[in-house]
Every structure is written in C-alpha cells, then in structure tokens.
Amino acid sequence: MASTYDWEWFMQQFGIMSKIDLTAYKRPQMERRINSFMRSHGAEGYHSFISMLQTDQTLYRKFIEHLTINVSEFFRNQAHWEVLENQVIPELLSDRSTLKIWSAGCSTGEEPYSLAMLMKERFQSRSDKILATDIDQDVLDKASQAIYTEKAVSTLPPYYARKYLVREGEYYRLSDDIKQMVTFKQHDLLKDPYPRYNDLILCRNVVIYFTEETKCRLYQNFADALRPGGVLFIGSTEQIFQARELGLKSIATFFYQKL
C-alpha cells in the first residue's frame, strides 16, 4: 500500500482529470485494482502513472473502463427477477396504470433491456420509457447500440432470445421495439441530482465498491427518489442495514419499499 500522501495526491490529480471522486470508494479495494492496472502497464508509481494517463488517451480510456467495473448480464440472478416479475411489479401496478423506472449504474445496458423485455411481455409495456444511467459515457454509447456477443446473450431465456435478437455476423442486435423502451443518460450517483418520484429503482452490484458512509448516503438518496410505496431493487451481495432509518422496509430479499 502506498503512503497516505501519495494516495491522496493521486486521488486529487485523478479527480481533476476525470471528475471521479475516489474518496467515496473503499481504499484497499480500489488501490488493489489501480495498482494491478499500473503494474500491467509498466507504471513505476502514481506520479508516472498520472503522466501516462495525461499523454495517452487510449490508456486513459482503458483505465476508466477498468475502474468503473462494467460487468453486467441479462436477467442477472434469475431467481431475483422472478420475485420482481411475480410479486413486486404486480403490486406496484395494482394502483397505477404505468410505472416510472430507473436503472442506475446500467453499464452496457443488459439490465434495463431485460426490464424492457419483461415489461413488454408480461405487463403490456405498462411503463414510461425506462431511464438507464451510468457515469461512463462510453458504455452508455455501447448500450444504446444494443449489439452484444454470443456470450453476452447466453443468459437470455430462449423465448426472449428468439423474439428479440437479430443475428448480425458474429453479434446479436436487440430489436428496435425493445431499444425504444429505454433512454440512456450520463449520471454520477455521487454528484448529480436524482430523478424523483420513481416507482421502481434498480441499482445492483454498484454500491459494494463504496465506503460505508457513502453507501448510507446513496441509499438515502435512492429512498428520497422513490414515491411512497416505490421499490428499490439491489444486488445479490448487498444489504441495507437499518432500512427503517432511511424510510424503507424489506419486502423480499434484495427488495426495499418506501414507507
């Protein structure tokens, strides 16, 4: 582990370059990721690494992708999606005609597109355009193209794959009717205002990288961004302790409803 001075200097310099606030992330976890990347690209220390990032745009872009951990898949943790389909969404639709839905930290789009397919097939598209956000504009550009590898679409249930995928050489493209159900927008969970009065927010496997103080702040922001009765759907490695202090209650594992 580098000295506190070196680490703080790096966080400050990188923050100026990228507008990403590393102080909100767990230091040991983030430092391991950064040091691993530095070693693999021949950087001798934080000062030389900052110089490399300033002069090599390709390396900078690669580092951002490494840092923001863009890992996603269609219908990730299938059993949790079954709870969403069979319990959560029907309850949300019991007193309203359409749902306002936000997928936060959407990466390359698999999550919001999964939700779009589910809403179209199971609930007759009873949602506004699904808002999907991420801090990384490059992954949002990829998401908006909706073109995926064979490996990426392997988790799609066969029915959805047959109906909504178009083969294009070695890749698969999602049909336009699903693409049109999602709006992608750049958004920083640490800095930007949250969209308000959401019926359903998905933020899965994102906050695990943040400090406990930052997690609490983000969960409070999500709670504030829900309408009364709205639901927050979190990741399979996450849990909200003292949910009631945030104005939430657990209604199923990984699902929290605003009181």
pTM equals: 0.86
What pLDDT does residue 117 have? Answer: 97
Above 90 in pLDDT, residue 44? no
Above 70 in pLDDT, residue 250? yes
Give the three-state DSSP class for 57. Answer: helix
Establish if 115 belongs to a structural domain. Answer: yes
Assess whether 86 and 35 both reside in one domain: no
Assess whether 51 and 107 both reside in one domain: no
Domain of 109, CATH number, reads: 3.40.50.150
Residues 27-65 as b or e (16 or more Cβ within 10 Å = b): eeebbebbbebbeeeebeebeebbebbeeeeebeeebbe
Assess whether 62 and 102 both reside in one domain: no
Domain total in the chain: 2
In the structure, what pLDDT confidence band is assigned to residue 72 with cuts at 50, 70 and 90?
A: confident
* Mean pLDDT, rounded, of the chain: 93
Assess whether 111 and 238 both reside in one domain: yes
Above 70 in pLDDT, residue 70? no
User: Which bin fits 168, alpha (ψ -120 to 50), beta or left (φ > 0)?
Assistant: beta
* DSSP code, position 135: S
Point out the domain boundary residue: 25, 40, 68: 68
**Residues of the domain holding 117:** 78-258
Assess whether 179 and 244 both reside in one domain: yes
What pLDDT does residue 69 have? Answer: 66
What pLDDT does residue 26 have? Answer: 83
Average pLDDT over residues 119-146: 95
In the structure, what pLDDT confidence band is assigned to residue 123 with cuts at 50, 70 and 90?
A: very high
Which phi and psi (to 5°) does residue 208 adopt?
Answer: -60, -20
- Residue pair 244/259 in contact (Cβ under 8 Å)? The answer is yes
Assess whether 118 and 14 both reside in one domain: no
Assess whether 122 and 44 both reside in one domain: no
Query: In the numeric block, which tokens belong to residue 65?
Result: 């992708």
Assess whether 155 and 246 both reside in one domain: yes
Establish if 226 belongs to a structural domain. Answer: yes
- The string of pLDDT tens digits covering residues 73-111 is 899 999 999 999 999 999 999 999 999 999 999 999 999
Beta-carbon count within 10 A of 246 CB: 20
Above 70 in pLDDT, residue 1? no
Cα gap 8→185, rounded to integer Å:
30
Assess whether 57 and 123 both reside in one domain: no
Establish if 73 belongs to a structural domain. Answer: no
User: Which bin fits 151, alpha (ψ -120 to 50), beta or left (φ > 0)?
Assistant: alpha
Question: Which of 67-71, 212-216, 237-241 has the weakest average pLDDT?
Answer: 67-71
Point out the domain boundary residue: 17, 48, 68: 68
The angle at the Cα of 167, spanning 163 to 170, to the nearest 5 degrees, equals: 145
Question: Which of 29-33, 138-142, 154-158 has the weakest average pLDDT?
Answer: 29-33
Assess whether 141 and 28 both reside in one domain: no
Point out the domain boundary residue: 15, 44, 68: 68
Assess whether 99 and 219 both reside in one domain: yes
Average pLDDT over residues 22-41: 88
Q: Where are the beta strands (DSSP E) in the chain?
A: 101-104, 130-134, 147-149, 165-168, 171-174, 182-186, 198-203, 226-234, 248-252, 255-258
Assess whether 151 and 102 both reside in one domain: yes
